[in-house]
Copies of this chain bind each other. A is one copy, B any other.
Amino acid sequence: MSILVVGSVAFDTVKTPFGEGREVLGGSATHFAVSASFWANVRLVAVVGEDFTDEHRRPLVDRGIDVSGLATAAGRTFRWVGEYDYDLNNPRTLDTQLNVFASFRPEIPLAWRDTPLLFLANIDPDLQRDVLEQVPRASLVAADTMNYWIASKPESLKALLARVRILLINDGEIRQLTGEPNLVRAAAVVRAWGPRTIVIKRGEHGVLVFDAETVFALPAYPLEAVLDPTGAGDAFAGGFLGYLAARGFGEVLDVRRAAVVGSVMASYQVEAFSFDRLATLTWPEIRDRYQKFIHLTRFDPLP
């Protein structure tokens, strides 16, 4: 099954206490697409500048990602500069140059308008809604967002959520969005707005999934060395939705296995800068870490 992702492609300059990546390939759509490409056919819609060469396209093409929706506009590609402290949680943004991304108006290629699974990565909710209009027959729509849009366009975001099945969001963001510090109640508030499935990403603390009557909690994989957390959330989303696309889905989603697969992909994502680790990732490694998640979390019933 194919997945269509609309989001950003960027050059990131990232500093962590353990190293630095200079103008490495990043962006929400990039990280999502690379991760999802292990599980499904991925169609990528984004915009880059004239400085984005075939050499930059190659690692995406090598992963089988269809980049024919990657538009080139006059100007430079989106740039982000950020820095992480030892705790590797929220980065400090040192510089953001939107460049060609500032005037991005996603145009979905005609042949892609019947893609069954649509991921609206973190962009302006007005644009996310515009994309939805262009892909009216998507049977599963998932969206991400960020604090900037929650603060600046809450009404547009709520209008979007009314038409989204799955919201992926981090814990700080859902608290901001709902004004509710308790995550169980915050998820209930958002579910009343539309999305039936709420996936709350908690970084090093794992993930919580609220879906119909089910709550699923999964810790993050305890890694001895995290090099760069950039893209972990998008790699998670890529694994989560990629798994659903690979397995097929009906009314009921296999959100538990999907969340484990997402966590597997995210755990590898953070082991290197950019998507360097995913670029060399193998199927045995994916299966091995899934098994390790089983061992990490299993316990027996009371005697």
Are the C-beta atoms of B87 and A256 separated by less than 8 Å?
A: no
Q: Is the pair B225, A182 in contact by a Cβ cutoff of 8 Å? A: yes
Interface centre among A88, A182, A215, A218 (most CB of B within 10 A): A182
Tell me, yes or no, whether A55 is within 8 Å of chain B by CB. Answer: no
Q: With A205-B205, A224-B184 known to touch, is A299 a contact of B256 (CB < 8 Å)?
A: yes
Interface magnitude class on chain A:
35 or more
Indicate if the CB atoms of A206 and B219 lie closer than 8 Å.
yes
- Shortest CB distance A225–B (Å): 7
The answer to the question of A138 belonging to the interface, with a C-beta cut-off of 8 Å to chain B, is no
* Given known A-B contacts A205-B202, A301-B294, A222 and B183 have beta carbons under 8 A apart: yes
Q: Which residues of B contact A302 (CB under 8 A)?
A: 257, 261, 287, 290
Contact between chains at A222 and B218 (CB < 8 Å): no
Q: How far is the CA of A182 from the CA of B224 in the complex (A)?
A: 7
Interface positions of A from 249 to 303, Cβ below 8 Å from B: 256-257, 259-261, 287, 290-291, 294, 296-303
With A184-B224, A208-B222 already in contact, 6 other A-B pairs whose C-beta atoms are closer than 8 Å? A182-B226, A184-B222, A208-B219, A215-B296, A218-B297, A297-B297
